[in-house]
């Protein structure tokens, strides 16, 4: 279903860019963000002087004022800056901040930037344990020393492994092999994406035979740390009408922008519930956009670990309820399947510089809807969805539609 003609009330993506994800020892995060911001504005044929709001997110630099740091590199025009931090949903939150300002009529055009420089943080094992010399109760649980490794795991591969195993407990046809297929698919997809951090194909046997981090997640089923930035320029429908035909043709409509947090669930205090808030966000996104899951030509979702991706097939309504195992077994999320998922390679292989992730997936879907995705292009893509989860938790979803003009 093509987007409605521009009625002036919607918010559109005018320009976008992402850096290649990877490691940049010779640049800092301000360089990466500035490079991406300027390239996104150039893509939309506009400049910093057209921007009326800037929202910026960099989780590990949240207290450094990322937006103002970027302005000092690319233009200090005095516009309002919103620095946002929302775990892995930081980038999506930056986009939604600009979206809301335009919807509220406070701005006609704005810039959202997400960036992170993580290098090799070694996040797969969790925090180093602090061993007390004297046992004194502290914190909200009165713990006398670190509990990681005693009262279960606090490491991310394990937390998401448990989330996947909970789904396996509740539904038939889900196990190690179904989870491993997610990583097999995403590594394969990344070979076509020049912006991906890794571009190497692995067989299903290699994925399953890789060193186990937290069963069932092997090394090849975990996203890497890395560096990168991504940006979008958003514009009001009204302003877009006054722009060139080419700009209007390349503009992509944001049919829904949704952010949710996790409502109370019984198990939430010990196992982060990444499902309920995703389901709630998806329901809102489909209602607001009038898009049905079956209309989606591609989906970029939050595959921080292979076990997580499988849950979201179900949460986003891409498969029958409880049927995520069958869906991947039947090829549903593969490139030639019913709804290609993470055609970019996903977080697992494209990479996951945290603040950049929620903007980079909008870059990816926009690029496909414009028909500019090169070798990895999903042919004839008209409607796409992006999804991120920030643990704690936040869920950001954007539904994007190709311009009808």
Partner 1 sequence: MTKKAARKTTAKKASAPTQQVPLVDYLRLGARPYLRAHECTRCGARYFDRRNACAKCGKTEFKNARVKNAARVKAFTIVHRAAPGIPAPYVSAIVTTEDGTTVRSNIVNCEPSPDTVKLGMKVKLTTYPIGTDDNGCEAVAYGYQPA
- In the region spanning residues 271 to 330, those forming contacts with partner 1, defined by CB under 8 A, are 271
Our finding on whether 210 is near partner 1 (CB under 8 A) is no
328: left (phi over 0), alpha (psi -120 to 50) or beta: alpha
Q: Please, which residue, 141 or 321, has the CB nearer to partner 1?
A: 141
Is 379 buried (19+), middle (13-18) or exposed (0-12) by CB count in 10 A?
Answer: exposed
Site string for partner 1, 330-359 (x = CB under 8 A): ------------------------------
Our finding on whether 120 is near partner 1 (CB under 8 A) is no
The residues pairing with 257 across neighbouring beta strands, listed in sequence order, are 398
Our finding on whether 163 is near partner 1 (CB under 8 A) is yes
Q: Please, which residue, 58 or 214, has the CB nearer to partner 1?
A: 214
For tokens 């987007």, what's the residue? 3
Nearest alpha-carbon partner for 273 in 281, 283, 284, 262: 262
Our finding on whether 118 is near partner 1 (CB under 8 A) is no
Nearest alpha-carbon partner for 187 in 203, 200, 204: 200
- For 81, the 3-state DSSP assignment is strand
Our finding on whether 132 is near partner 1 (CB under 8 A) is yes
Q: Please, which residue, 9 or 205, has the CB nearer to partner 1?
A: 205
Our finding on whether 137 is near partner 1 (CB under 8 A) is yes
Q: Please, which residue, 264 or 321, has the CB nearer to partner 1?
A: 264
Nearest alpha-carbon partner for 397 in 284, 308, 287: 284
Determine the Cα–Cα distance for residues 58 and 356; give it in Å rounded to an integer.
8
**By the 8 A CB rule, do 304 and 352 touch?**
yes
Residues in the chain, overall count: 405
Determine the Cα–Cα distance for residues 27 and 15; give it in Å rounded to an integer.
24
- In the region spanning residues 165 to 184, those forming contacts with partner 1, defined by CB under 8 A, are 165-166, 168-169, 176
Our finding on whether 211 is near partner 1 (CB under 8 A) is yes
Please state, as a whole number, how many other Cβ atoms lie within 10 Å of the Cβ of residue 28: 15
Our finding on whether 369 is near partner 1 (CB under 8 A) is no
**By the 8 A CB rule, do 12 and 234 touch?**
yes
Using CB under 8 A, which of the segments 21-29, 90-98, 127-135, 180-188 binds partner 1?
A: 127-135
**By the 8 A CB rule, do 155 and 124 touch?**
yes
Q: In Å, what is the CA distance from 205 to each residue of 82, 190, 210?
A: 46, 18, 8
Our finding on whether 149 is near partner 1 (CB under 8 A) is yes
Q: Please, which residue, 127 or 204, has the CB nearer to partner 1?
A: 127
Using CB under 8 A, which of the segments 8-16, 18-26, 155-163, 379-387 binds partner 1?
A: 155-163
Q: Please, which residue, 78 or 211, has the CB nearer to partner 1?
A: 211
Q: Beta strand pairing status for 394-402 and 252-261?
A: antiparallel
Nearest alpha-carbon partner for 9 in 102, 139, 84: 102
Q: How many residues bind partner 1 (CB under 8 A)?
A: 50
Taking CB under 8 A as the criterion, the residue among 104, 267, 336, 380 binding partner 1 is: 267
- In the region spanning residues 214 to 233, those forming contacts with partner 1, defined by CB under 8 A, are 214-217
Determine the Cα–Cα distance for residues 156 and 151; give it in Å rounded to an integer.
15
Our finding on whether 89 is near partner 1 (CB under 8 A) is no
Our finding on whether 152 is near partner 1 (CB under 8 A) is yes
Q: Please, which residue, 81 or 123, has the CB nearer to partner 1?
A: 123
Nearest alpha-carbon partner for 215 in 187, 267, 177: 177
Q: Please, which residue, 266 or 375, has the CB nearer to partner 1?
A: 266
To the nearest whole angstrom, how small is the minimum distance from the Cβ of residue 153 to partner 1? 4
Q: Which residues bind partner 1 (CB under 8 A)?
A: 124-129, 131-135, 137, 140-145, 147-153, 155, 157-158, 161-166, 168-169, 176, 211-217, 264, 266-267, 269-271
């Amino acid at each position: 279903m093509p987007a409605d003609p521009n009625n002036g009330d919607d918010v559109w993506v005018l320009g976008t860019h992402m850096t290649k994800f990877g490691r940049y020892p010779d640049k800092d995060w301000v360089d990466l963000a500035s490079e991406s911001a300027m390239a996104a504005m150039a893509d939309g044929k506009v400049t910093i002087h057209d921007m009326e709001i800037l929202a910026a997110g960099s989780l590990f630099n949240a207290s450094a004022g990322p937006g103002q740091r970027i302005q000092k590199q690319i233009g200090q025009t005095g516009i309002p800056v919103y620095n946002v931090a929302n775990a892995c949903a930081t980038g999506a939150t930056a986009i939604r901040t600009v979206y809301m300002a335009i919807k509220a009529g406070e701005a006609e055009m704005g810039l959202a930037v997400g960036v992170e420089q993580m290098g090799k943080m070694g996040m797969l094992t969790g925090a180093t344990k602090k061993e007390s010399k004297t046992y004194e109760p502290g914190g909200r649980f009165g713990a006398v020393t670190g509990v990681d490794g005693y009262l279960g795991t606090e490491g991310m591969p394990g937390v998401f492994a448990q989330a996947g195993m909970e789904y396996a407990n509740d539904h038939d046809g889900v196990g190690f092999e179904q989870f491993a297929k997610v990583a097999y698919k995403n590594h394969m997809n990344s070979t076509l994406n020049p912006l991906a951090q890794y571009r190497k194909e692995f067989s299903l046997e290699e994925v399953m035979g890789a060193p186990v981090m937290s069963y069932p997640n092997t090394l090849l089923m975990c996203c890497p740390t890395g560096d990168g930035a991504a940006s979008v320029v958003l514009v009001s429908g009204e302003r877009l009408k006054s722009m060139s035909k080419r700009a209007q043709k390349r503009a992509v409509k944001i049919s829904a922008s949704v952010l949710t947090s996790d409502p109370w669930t019984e198990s939430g205090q010990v196992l982060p519930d990444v499902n309920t808030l995703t389901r709630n966000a998806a329901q809102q996104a489909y209602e607001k956009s009038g898009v049905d899951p079956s209309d989606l030509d591609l989906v970029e979702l939050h595959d921080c670990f292979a076990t997580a991706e499988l849950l979201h097939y179900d949460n986003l309504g891409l498969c029958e309820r409880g049927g995520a195992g069958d869906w991947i077994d039947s090829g549903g999320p593969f490139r030639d399947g019913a709804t290609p998922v993470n055609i970019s390679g996903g977080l697992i292989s494209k990479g996951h510089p945290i603040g950049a992730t929620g903007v980079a997936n909008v870059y990816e879907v926009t690029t496909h809807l414009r028909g500019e995705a090169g070798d990895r292009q999903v042919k004839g893509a008209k409607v796409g969805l992006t999804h991120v989860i920030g643990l704690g938790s936040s869920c950001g979803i954007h539904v994007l539609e190709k311009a009808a003009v």
